[in-house]
Chains A and B, each alone.
Chain A
Amino acid sequence: MSYEVMAGLVGTAILMGIGVPILVALGLGTIYLMWVCNYPLLVVGQVPFSGIDKFAFLAVPLFILTGDIIAHSGMARQLVRLAYAMFGWIQGGLGASTLIGSGFFAAISGSNSATAAAMGRMMIPEMESKYTRDYSGAIVACGACMGIIIPPSIIYIIYGSVAGVSVGALFIAGILPGILMIAFMCVANYFMCKVHRYDPPVQKFSASELLKAIWDAKFALIAPIIILGSIYGGIATPTESAVIAVAYCLIVSFLRKKMKVSDMSGLFLRSGVVCGVLMPIVALATLFSETITMLRIPSLFTNAILGISESEIIIMFSLFLILFIAGMVMDTTPIILILVPLIGPIVTNLGLDPVHWGIAMITTLTIGFVTPPIGINLYVVSSIAKIPIVTLFVKSIPLIIAMLLALFFIYVFPQLSLWLVQFIL
């Protein structure tokens, strides 16, 4: 690697580090690298179009919109009530139902920040009386990580398009790891409640209450069935299933008289704006990773990592560390676009399944949502509940440890992600 190339890479990292918007740092870095290596620069004008012009990406705003509609129309509250009817009788039942409710919500919404915003506004005021405000915020922030693990998920769509993996397979593969992470967090929450004497059980389990809650939440529960069913029934592509889900959620909200036509433009705008932030990064990060691939940097990287040790476990652990640290300091989308081409060859070398690896990678990156300095869930919850970010993080630590334990199982047992895929597809 020549000094000019080295300077380009370091320069890009410095620009990002001093806070230049990620898309600008990637764009300028790429232009410099291409200019140094005499690559045709015309592609710089092409990629802001061709990098976005993919049918799969249309699902990104739509799967955020579905969640916004569900939250706006009050259906999200029914989902939490259902979770409370299931687990409200245990100590810490309200926290557990917030975590499980986030899971239900995530089965309709594809974004973690939308999940954090919706659950935060709804559950923090309710939990405050039984827990401390800080700990309730931590539960919401960690639960919202499920937003991109449980399908549908905008991150699976982006990973699928970079790594050339079927988005449908990723959606299915995410189900069991997501449930496992929620279960581990519920156990951690139970122990926290025992220690701090939070939220003692007040009611007994009642089957009739549960059935009533299921009946009340029926319209919200049909939405994930429509999304996954239309994909696996071969009726629709993931993008089309997102359109069907949006139409379904809108119709139900109108029928329940919880939505006015005038509300719609605001909802469309909010999820549309997210694309303006994500998609230019996707376009320029794609160009960046293509450029470094032409410079053969991925093979240098592969050799360096594979050179660390013969042992598969140590290599896996070092990949985990790279992803974990990257997730702490950067946003998920650019990490996936830059690191997938770098890590891909190593993973193939180890003989891992790309679907399993995708799930392992994305579950690792989600922990970055609740760790400073760049933890989007922390920012969202802190702005809703007026809790300092550091306090929120400290209170999240038990739940983060639970997620790390779940990650261990996800890494070690590929069957967790692959079994359902083999079963259904």
Chain B
Amino acid sequence: MKKNVNSEDYNKNKPSMLNLLKRVFKFLDSKIEEYAITVFYFSFTVILLNEVIRRYFFAASTDWSEEVARFLFVFLVCFAAAYAVRERGHLRISIIDNLVSKKIKFYLYIFYDICFLILAVAIIYYSVQIMQLQIRTDTLAMSESLRKLNLNMAYVYAAVPLGWALMIYRLIQRFILTIKEYKEGKLE
């Protein structure tokens, strides 16, 4: 018995590529939104602060800071929206919660998730079309410094399909969790 546990333990910690990947995935799965939100948020704050200080004390300014800060903000919003999906934190009118039985509530939750899924698929479908359009027409950013980088706007636009795809992943994850909770009678 004891030996068994040990060997299982050994297997778990075996330094194989697969185990490493599993651990990386597990880490990303639990923390990716939190890290992304903090990093994007912190960096646009620093960029803007730098800009204000430069302008006020050194009478110098950049043409890219405002635009880059805006792009970082869009990325922040996309990841934060996925975080809210995970926590069932998206605003909704919750009057009905107190009026229906647990069973109906469970079916309603499934209905909400399906509605969310349809919207997410539609947004991803059309945003990918927009990206294709941008690549075809060679759309560049507004500011001169960014134009020099020859960065296609499609790279920035990728925030939308990426963020909404992450939302779909979180939706499915939460969907499975909801079914499990309902079966165990723990659905709040």
Q: Chain A interface (Cβ within 8 Å of chain B)?
A: 15-25, 27-28, 31, 41-46, 48-49, 52-55, 57-58, 61-62, 235-236, 239-240, 243-244, 246-247, 265, 268-269, 271-277, 279-281, 329-331, 334, 373-374
| A24 B123 Cβ-Cβ under 8 A | no
Establish whether residues B90 and A23, one from each chain, have CB atoms under 8 Å apart when the complex forms.
yes
The chain B residue sitting closest to A266, CB to CB, is B38
Asked if B115 and A16 sit within 8 Å, CB to CB, the answer is no
Q: Lowest 9 A-B CB distances belong to which pairs?
A: A276-B80, A45-B126, A45-B127, A21-B90, A276-B81, A272-B37, A279-B77, A27-B119, A243-B48
Contact of A41 among B34, B42, B44, B126 (CB under 8 A): B126
Docked CA distance A67–B126 (Å): 38
Query: In this assembly, does B168 line the interface, its C-beta being within 8 Å of a C-beta of chain A?
Result: no
Cα(A43)–Cα(B160), bound, Å:
13
Given the known A-B contacts A22-B93, A55-B66, A272-B37, are A243 and B73 also in contact in the complex, defined by CB atoms under 8 Å? Answer: no
A277 touches B96 (CB 8 A): no
Query: Which stretch (B8-16, B18-26, B49-57, B172-180) binds chain A?
Result: B49-57
Alpha-carbon distance between A145 and B84 when the two chains are bound, in angstroms: 24
A75 to B128, CA, bound (A): 47
* In-complex Cβ contact of B80 among A20, A46, A275, A330 (8 A): A275
With A19-B96, A49-B74 in contact, do A273 and B37 touch (Cβ < 8 Å)?
Answer: yes
Establish whether residues B81 and A277, one from each chain, have CB atoms under 8 Å apart when the complex forms: yes
Interface bits B83-97 vs A (CB < 8 Å: 1, else 0): 110000111111111
Question: B93 to A52, Cβ gap below 8 A?
Answer: no
Assess whether B69 is in contact with A58, with CB atoms less than 8 Å apart.
yes
Shortest distance from the beta carbon of A10 to any chain B beta carbon, whole Å: 15
Contact B92 A21 (CB under 8 A): yes
When A27-B123, A275-B77 are in contact, do A58 and B48 touch as well, CB less than 8 Å? yes
Give 13 CB contacts A-B under 8 Å: A16-B93, A44-B123, A44-B126, A45-B126, A52-B74, A55-B70, A58-B69, A265-B38, A273-B83, A273-B89, A275-B80, A276-B76, A276-B79
Interface-centre pick from A58, A62, A239 (highest chain B CB count, 10 A):
A58
Taking CB atoms, residues of chain A closer than 8 Å to B71 are 53
Cβ of A49 and Cβ of B92 under 8 Å apart? no
Q: Are B66 and A48 in contact (CB under 8 A)?
A: no
**Cβ–Cβ < 8 Å partners of B49 in chain A:** 243-244, 247
CB of B160 within 8 A of CB of A20, answer: no
